[in-house]
Amino acid sequence: MEKNWGKVEKMTDEELEKLLKELQEKIEYDEEYTFSEIVIREYRNPSNFGVLEKPDAIGEIKGPCGDTMKFTLNIKNGNIFNAQFWTDGCGATIACGSMLTKIIIGKTLETAKKFTSSQLLLALDGLPIEHQHCPTLAINTLKQAIQNCHID
Ligand code: FES
């Protein structure tokens, strides 16, 4: 590491820019090789990222990996009419939150709470083995929010 840092310090701006471009291309290649197109699309441009100002239901869970996920919902007559998610976790978790909020908006609480992590995994066209727990974190956080809902 120290050896590489020494090399970087001596680089010209042009060499540094070239190295950064190569690294970026490698990251993008690795992403495309590792993740489905849907996952990449969802985490690069997530929907419903944030925390609702006046939520009717809140769920927040820290997963076994140390990442936290939060869901806030607005509910009327048993229907979820708005949902946002927040996470400090990995790209796969962002993709899970984005996809899950899109799925549950417009659904009844009864329907939303039956949705499973396997269904979320399918909706994302799969995830690598090391990210299989990410949909579970998203689903558990949603379920906690629904359980904590203080509206009929
Ligand atoms: Fe922790 Fe995805 S939720 S790695």
Choice among 16-20, 40-44, 75-79, 147-151 with the minimum mean pLDDT: 147-151
**How many domains, the chain?**
2
Q: What is the pLDDT of residues 17-40, one digit of tens each?
A: 988 888 888 887 777 778 999 999
DSSP run (H or E) holding 3 = helix 2-9
In terms of domains, do 8 and 67 share one?
A: no
Residue 152 has pLDDT above 70, yes or no: no
Q: Which of 43, 88, 134, 136 to mutate to test the pocket of ligand 1 (most atoms within 8 A of CB)?
A: 134
In terms of domains, do 22 and 55 share one?
A: no
Residue linked to tokens 């806030």? 72
Q: What is the number of the ligand 1 atom nearest to the C-alpha of 87? A: 3
In terms of domains, do 27 and 98 share one?
A: no
Residue 151 has pLDDT above 70, yes or no: no
In terms of domains, do 120 and 53 share one?
A: yes
Letter string b/e over residues 51-61, b meaning 16 or more CB atoms within 10 A of that residue's CB: ebeebbbbbeb
In which domain, by residue range, is 123 found?
Answer: 43-147
Q: How many CA atoms lie within 13 A of 134 on its CB side?
A: 27
Query: Ligand 1 centroid to 6 CA: how many Å?
Result: 33
Residue 118 has pLDDT above 90, yes or no: yes
How many other C-beta atoms are found inside a 10 Å radius of the C-beta of residue 94? 24
pLDDT attached to residue 51: 96
Please report, for residues 6, 24, 86, 99, 136, the alpha-carbon distance to residue 117 in angstroms, rounded to integers and kept in the order given: 46, 31, 18, 12, 5
**Which residue lies with its CA nearest to atom 4 of ligand 1?**
90
In terms of domains, do 76 and 141 share one?
A: yes
Q: What is the pLDDT of residues 71-106, one digit of tens each?
A: 999 999 999 999 999 999 999 999 999 999 999 999
Burial (Cβ within 10 Å: 0-12, 13-18, ≥19) of residue 21: exposed
pTM (predicted TM-score): 0.82
Q: What is the pLDDT of residues 52-77, one digit of tens each?
A: 999 999 999 999 889 999 999 999 99
- Pocket lining for ligand 1, CB < 6 angstroms: 63, 65, 67, 89-90, 92-93, 131, 134, 137
Query: Ligand 1 centroid to 13 CA: how many Å?
Result: 35
pLDDT attached to residue 1: 47
Q: What is the number of the ligand 1 atom nearest to the C-alpha of 64? A: 1
Query: Ligand 1 centroid to 132 CA: how many Å?
Result: 8
**Which residue lies with its CA nearest to atom 3 of ligand 1?**
134
Q: Does residue 18 lie in a domain region?
A: yes
The CATH number of whichever domain residue 105 belongs to comes to: 3.90.1010.10
Decide: 95 and 46 in contact? Cβ < 8 Å.
yes
